[in-house]
Structure 1
Amino acid sequence: MKTLNHQQLAQRIAQDIPEGAYVNLGIGLPTAIANYLPADKEIFLHSENGILGMGPTPSEDAIDPELINAGKQPVTLLPGGCFFHHGDSFAMMRGGHLDICVLGAYQVSQKGDLANWSTGAVEAIPAVGGAMDLAIGARKVFVMTDHLTKKGDCKIVAECTYPLTGIACISRIYTDMAVMDITPAGVVVRELFGDVTADYLQEVTPIPLQFALSQPEAAYV
């Protein structure tokens, strides 16, 4: 089954981020989106450790060890960018000043509930960090994730069984197989990737799906 890889998925999500948006890219997969934002759009990337105005990932010879994002990855700072106390950063997150946040997920329910900080495993991360603040503070919250786990379990579920990060907070899900919106009428599939068919997506997804498909705007490299 041909699906999108993580870089292709990051490229696809970047297409949906509008001019002038203030955006937080969550730790993990979403950070790759920064590398695909068009240079002719003014988009303000925020990191919860206190940065506004990040650019793409630096080359190996341009890394500044004192300029990192919340995931401790080296980042660049665009002209006009700034950094500040993380208390001010959390005030931005909680105060509704972010237009979009893109988070990873362990599970997303059909109602838009998010579980993304713990699976309950012994080696799991012991704290939620800023994910709860982002989930309830951003005006729109997108999920970027693989559709299935390594064991073949679907991450889109009727009810989350892992500890919740936020309730009814997700508006759109981007997986390696499809783009799906959380709506009052249920989960609506907007786009399929690769050679994934509607029948196959429904087969591997344990909730009812509705399909309102559009054609992708571009190929992914």
Structure 2
Amino acid sequence: MTAGSSYQAWNKIEIARRVAADIPEGWYVNLGIGLPTLVADHIPEGREVVFHSENGILGMGPVPAPDEVDPWLINAGKENVTLVAGASLFHHADSFAMIRGGHLDLCVLGAFEVGQNGDLANWTTSLNDRVPAVGGAMDLSAGVRNVWVMTSHLTKDGRPKLVERCHYPLTAGKAVTRVYTDLAVLDVSPEGFVVIDHVEGLSRAELRNLTGAPLHYA
């Protein structure tokens, strides 16, 4: 929050709930490592969404309770997960065939930067990270029908993550279709970022000042 402003940024759970609420009934969805994994815990009751993990799961459930952890069930980020009724397990190669064959409706990924044309930069480059490479995000952003990004609006040092042109190495070009940040929800259109919602109390001028690219409004 900036000095003199009256808005409160959404927290991680609020962002995850918003993403979960927007996923249509019956979609097959891959959740990227980190913040996107929270989405599985917040699908509205009664809505069927089938979660996929690239290490070979279709029908991934929410995070298990501490006393229900199965050490053999993990997602691509090496986090413990559960399975829903009817889930299936399969070879890593079959999982990537689903991704590359265009059989998934949506992937939700984190990002360091998103360009106004939908370019995605989300390589993890530090050797201290769990996946110090481009990882499966390269296949997901190229092969899945819709790519949504969950991220903070600004970096830790206050720089915009939504920019006219990415400065980091690209994971994929013109891939992102929607962005969820702690300040706003934006579609990526031929004209650039289109704001479809933002936190209460945040003015258009404030949001523009916190974004590194022009904004349009639905």
- The answer to whether the 8 A contact 1:3-1:195 is kept is no
1:88 aligned residue (74, 79, 94): 94
- Deviation of the 1:91 alpha carbon: 0.3
Question: Which residues of structure 1 form unaligned runs of 5+?
Answer: 213-221
Partner residue of 1:11 out of 12, 17, 31: 17
Alignment of 1:1-221 (within 5 A): 1=1, 2-118=8-124, 123=128, 125-212=131-218
Query: 1:195: how far off?
Result: 2.5
C-alpha distance in 1, partners of 2:32/2:128?
A: 20
Measure the CA separation in 1 of the matches of 2:185 and 2:69: 34
Higher mean alpha-carbon deviation, 126-135 vs 22-31, is at: 126-135
* Cα shift at 1:42: 1.3
1:104, distance to aligned residue in structure 2 (A):
0.2
Which segments of structure 1 move beyond 6 Å, counting only runs of 4 or more? Answer: none
Aligned to 1:219: none
State the shift of 1:115 in Å. 0.2
Structure 2 letter corresponding to 1:72: K
Q: Deviations over 1:4-39 (max 9, x none)?
A: 011110001000101100000001100000000123
CA distance in 1, matches of 2:165, 2:128: 24
Aligned length: 211
Q: Deviations over 1:110-138 (max 9, x none)?
A: 110000013x5575653211111000111
CA contact (8 A) 1:143 1:173 kept: yes
Q: Percent identity?
A: 56
TM-score by length of 1: 0.92
Distance 1:194 1:150 in 2: 22
Cα-Cα RMSD: 1.2
TM-score (norm 2): 0.93
2:126–2:132 CA contact under 8 A, matched in 1: no
Gaps of 5+ in 2: 2-7
Change in 2 beyond 3 A, CA 1:108/1:59: same
* Contact 1:135 1:169 (C-alpha < 8 Å) held by counterparts: yes
Q: Match for 1:193: what amino acid? A: V
Matched letter for residue 208 of structure 2 = Q
1:172-220 alpha-carbon deviations (Å, 9 max, x no partner): 00000000011012211000114322110001112110112xxxxxxxx
The Cα of 1:82 is off from its aligned counterpart by 1.0
Distance (whole Å) between structure 2 residues aligned to residue 5 and residue 112 of structure 1: 24
